[in-house]
Amino acid sequence: DQQVKQNSPSLSVQEGRISILNCDYTNSMFDYFLWYKKYPAEGPTFLISISSIKDKNEDGRFTVFLNKSAKHLSLHIVPSQPGDSAVYFCAASEPNSGYALNFGKGTSLLVTP
Amino acid sequence: DAGVIQSPRHEVTEMGQEVTLRCKPISGHNSLFWYRQTMMRGLELLIYFNNNVPIDDSGMPEDRFSAKMPNASFSTLKIQPSEPRDSAVYFCASSYGTRDGYTFGSGTRLTVV
């Protein structure tokens, strides 16, 4: 049973524009959310995170928004660059879970020149 | 540090054979995780260890799967006997105790024919 859902398998955006990747979750016990980025033939790498006590976290071109009432989070990339083309995974964890993460299936982002 | 090291990178085996995947976590990390990535299910947690002790193996699909961590610098995931539906990319990750601290290996692509 998928507790973290990324309903868009793929997204294509022009260079310089905003990329918005969405994620929904069903488990109200989740208190920490993360985004990972994955290039082909490599493992996922940590990108940005947000605690449930916040509704926004920003790191350079990357901003994550959390809407707890809707159980929804999104990752904004502004401006998008061709090097951002990768698969993005949304992940979430519960407190006292030993840092185990629940991942979504991923969204493949393609940024075209 | 060389990061999380997984071997082999690719494994092709015949149905019914035993397969052993290996992982060397980052020195100093005290949590180790095995994940499996498939198109259907995305990234799913199989098992994780804390201080070399298995904490949660509820994600291990069947008794054919087993994992060990005999010391802080080595872990194995074994499948015996292997089946075609086990074909996937298997990732090992380690962490030093924060949810942002996950470092993934490059994965082992397993194909069972």
If you measure CA to CA, which chain A residue comes closest to B36?
Answer: A103
Q: What is the pLDDT of residues B11-43, one digit of tens each?
A: 999 999 999 999 999 999 999 999 999 988 889
Terminal CA-to-CA distance of chain A, rounded, Å? 38
If you measure CA to CA, which chain A residue comes closest to B10?
Answer: A41
Q: How many CA atoms lie within 13 A of A78 on its CB side?
A: 8
Dihedral sign, CA of A99, A77, A107, A53?
positive
Distance of residue B58 Cα from the nearest chain A Cα, in angstroms: 12
Amino acid at A93: S
Cβ-based contacts of B91 with chain A (< 8 Å): 43-44
Q: What is the pLDDT of residues B38-75, one digit of tens each?
A: 988 889 999 999 999 999 998 998 899 999 999 999 99
Write the Ramachandran bin of A43: left for phi over 0, alpha for psi from -120 to 50, otherwise beta: beta
If you measure CA to CA, which chain B residue comes closest to A35?
Answer: B100
Surface-to-core class of residue A28, CB atoms within 10 Å of its CB (0-12 exposed, 13-18 middle, 19+ buried): exposed
Are B43 and A32 inside 8 Å of each other by CB? no
Task: Say what the pLDDT of residue B41 is.
Answer: 87
Q: Which residues of chain B have a Cβ shorter than 8 Å from any chain A Cβ?
A: 4, 31, 33, 35, 41-45, 48, 50, 55-56, 91, 93, 95, 97-107
Distance of residue A51 Cα from the nearest chain B Cα, in angstroms: 11
Please state, in angstroms and as integers, the Cα–Cα distance from residue B49 to each residue in A105, B1, B27, following that order.
23, 21, 15
Q: What is the pLDDT of residues A41-90, one digit of tens each?
A: 999 999 999 999 999 999 999 999 999 999 999 999 999 999 999 999 99
Give which of B96, B58, B91 is closest to B77, Cα–Cα: B91
Whether the CB of A99 is below 8 Å from some CB of chain B: the reply is yes
Per DSSP, which regions of chain B are E strands?
Answer: 5-7, 10-13, 19-24, 31-38, 42-50, 53-56, 65-71, 74-79, 88-95, 103-104, 108-112
Q: Measured between CB atoms, which of A43, A46, A100 is closest to B100?
A: A46
Tokens for B95, please give them: 């962490």
pLDDT interval class at A31 (50, 70, 90): very high
Whether the CB of A39 is below 8 Å from some CB of chain B: the reply is no
Task: Say what the pLDDT of residue B1 is.
Answer: 66
Are B45 and A100 inside 8 Å of each other by CB? yes
Tokens for B73, please give them: 């610098």
DSSP A15-75: TTS-EEEEEEE--TT--EEEEEEE-TTS--EEEEEEETT-SEEEETTEEEEEETTTTEEEE
